[in-house]
Amino acid sequence: MMNLKSTLFLLSLIFSSFIASGAELVLKDGSRLNGELIKIHDGKVHYQTQFAGILIIDQALVSNISSDAEVFLKTSDGQVFKGAVAESDSGMLITSNRGSIQADVDEVVSAWPTGKRDPVIVSREQELESQVRKWTYEAGVDISSSDGNTDKFTSGIRAKAVLAGPNDELILEGSYKYAEQNGVRSEDEQMAAMRYTNYFTSKLGWFVRSSLERDKFELVEFRSTTAAGLSYRWIKEKDMSLETTAGLSYRYESYFPTVATPNPTSESFPGLDFGLKFRWNFAKWGVLNTNLGFLPSVDDFGDYLVDHETSVDIPLKVSDKWKLRIGISNQYNSSPDLGREELDTSYFMRLIMNWD
């Protein structure tokens, strides 16, 4: 049985061999970090450590780098070397198939491990790709039913196509929702919409949108809303975005005939158009989306529509193309038809497939 000194000696050998087989980064203040070189790009050293994950350090603060594993190093004169890197008094000593080369950390333009690509080239490709308009598509279905005191069946389908570029976005979408309660139709709604936004600065832009709707249960034979105005991006980040809009709108409505109104008249409503769009990727498992619209009439500010929807998208592990959307939607009409409530609220759970 080993005594304490033998155990400590063995552990020190194992630890020393582990350190020697890895990589080391030396800062100009004398600090040393053990880990793995991820890349050097754009004046930053990306370094993987066990205690703090990936650290991003200014290249100007690094005095030396060593690595037993082979890496690629591109110097400021355009040369590319592949090999192990050792620390030396006069800079890094690179042992490559072209012999041993001495280089200073400040001379390195980029570096990357074998099996990876030059981060400079990867960055250029990503920049070019971000400048190209790209189509993405989404289709969803929601079905629910209940029986007992109330027999209710609800179904709905939705489709959406988005053409997005660095400074503009085109959205095309359509939906159909149908419901029966105790054998009586309670919802029958069809909708199609188009929206185009173009930003002429990083924050300020303009938009135009149009929507068409037909709702037999609400006796709306045809409803069209057209609006145009200005859009402002308050936040535009990878994990969060906030956009508001303000403009003018024109709404037209015609109705189905009923016993009370066998010859209904159509109505038009010039008005204002205000909107808010918020997205927050608050976790790997969830994205929060909120859309809010407010359309008051110019002739009578007491006559207005409010549309609201808030949902959370949860990716499904089976595939990155599938997600579950859970949310609530509200539509408030300050001047509803006879027999209709002002507020219409629905809760939904929707299975969505997205692709590009």
- Write out pLDDT tens, residues 215-246: 887 788 898 999 999 999 999 998 999 999 99
> What is the spatial distance between Cα 60 and Cα 23, in angstroms, rounded to a whole number?
19
What is each CA distance from 243 to 57, 132, 206, 234, 304, in whole angstroms? 34, 22, 12, 6, 22
Tally Cβ neighbours within 10 Å of residue 295: 19
| 15 is a domain residue | no
Positions in the chain whose pLDDT score sits under 50: 1-2, 4-21
First to last CA, the chain: 64
> What is the spatial distance between Cα 174 and Cα 179, in angstroms, rounded to a whole number?
17
Residues 61 and 32 in one domain: yes
Question: Which pLDDT score, from 0 to 100, does residue 148 have?
Answer: 54
Residues 189 and 257 in one domain: yes
Considering its fold, how many domains does the chain have in total?
A: 2
Residues 191 and 316 in one domain: yes
Residues 53 and 149 in one domain: no
Residues 140 and 121 in one domain: no
Question: Which pLDDT score, from 0 to 100, does residue 17 have?
Answer: 39
What letters, b where the CB count within 10 A reaches 16 and e where it falls short, cover 92-110?
bbbebeeeebebebeebbb
Residues 60 and 145 in one domain: no
Q: Are 103 and 110 in contact (CB under 8 A)?
A: no
**Residue where one domain finishes, among candidates 69, 97, 129:** 129
Q: Are 352 and 138 in contact (CB under 8 A)?
A: yes
Question: Which pLDDT score, from 0 to 100, does residue 7 have?
Answer: 43
Question: Which pLDDT score, from 0 to 100, does residue 21 have?
Answer: 42
Question: Which pLDDT score, from 0 to 100, does residue 257 have?
Answer: 85
| 16 is a domain residue | no
3-class DSSP assignment, residue 103: strand
Determine phi and psi for 128, rounding to 5 degrees: -65, -40
Q: What is the pTM of this model?
A: 0.67
Residues 123 and 139 in one domain: no
Q: Are 55 and 47 in contact (CB under 8 A)?
A: yes
**Residue where one domain finishes, among candidates 100, 129, 158:** 129
Token pair 């959370």: residue: 312
CA dihedral 12, 18, 22, 27 (to 10 degrees): -20
The domain of 94 spans 22-129
Residues 240 and 321 in one domain: yes
> What is the spatial distance between Cα 49 and Cα 61, in angstroms, rounded to a whole number?
17
Residues 197 and 109 in one domain: no
> What is the spatial distance between Cα 54 and Cα 46, in angstroms, rounded to a whole number?
7
CATH value at residue 184: 2.40.128.130
**Residue where one domain finishes, among candidates 129, 144, 161:** 129
Checking 300-304 for CB contacts under 8 A at 24+ apart, the result is 302/334, 302/335, 303/269, 303/334, 303/335, 304/271, 304/334
> What is the spatial distance between Cα 142 and Cα 91, in angstroms, rounded to a whole number?
63
Q: Which two tokens stand for residue 107?
A: 């001379």
| 10 is a domain residue | no
Question: Which pLDDT score, from 0 to 100, does residue 127 have?
Answer: 81
| 290 is a domain residue | yes
Residues 254 and 163 in one domain: yes
**Single-letter residue type at 24:** E
Q: Considering only CA atoms, which of 326, 322, 319 is closest in space to residue 350?
A: 326
What letters, b where the CB count within 10 A reaches 16 and e where it falls short, cover 189-214?
bebebebbbebeeeeebbbebebebb
| 293 is a domain residue | yes
| 315 is a domain residue | yes
The pLDDT tens digits for 21-58 are 467 889 989 889 988 899 999 999 999 888 888 999 99
Residues 193 and 327 in one domain: yes
Helices (H) and strands (E) in the chain, counts: 2, 21
> What is the spatial distance between Cα 347 and Cα 327, in angstroms, rounded to a whole number?
6
Question: Which pLDDT score, from 0 to 100, does residue 8 have?
Answer: 39
Q: What angle do CA 17, 19, 20 make, to 5 degrees?
A: 60
Question: Which pLDDT score, from 0 to 100, does residue 248 have?
Answer: 96
> What is the spatial distance between Cα 311 and Cα 328, in angstroms, rounded to a whole number?
6
Burial class (CB in 10 A: 0-12, 13-18, 19+), 146: exposed
Checking 137-141 for CB contacts under 8 A at 24+ apart, the result is 137/161, 137/162, 137/354, 137/355, 137/356, 138/162, 138/352, 138/353, 138/354, 139/352, 139/353, 139/354, 140/325, 140/350, 140/351, 140/352, 140/353, 141/350, 141/351
| 248 is a domain residue | yes
Residues 209 and 232 in one domain: yes
| 17 is a domain residue | no
Q: Are 156 and 191 in contact (CB under 8 A)?
A: no
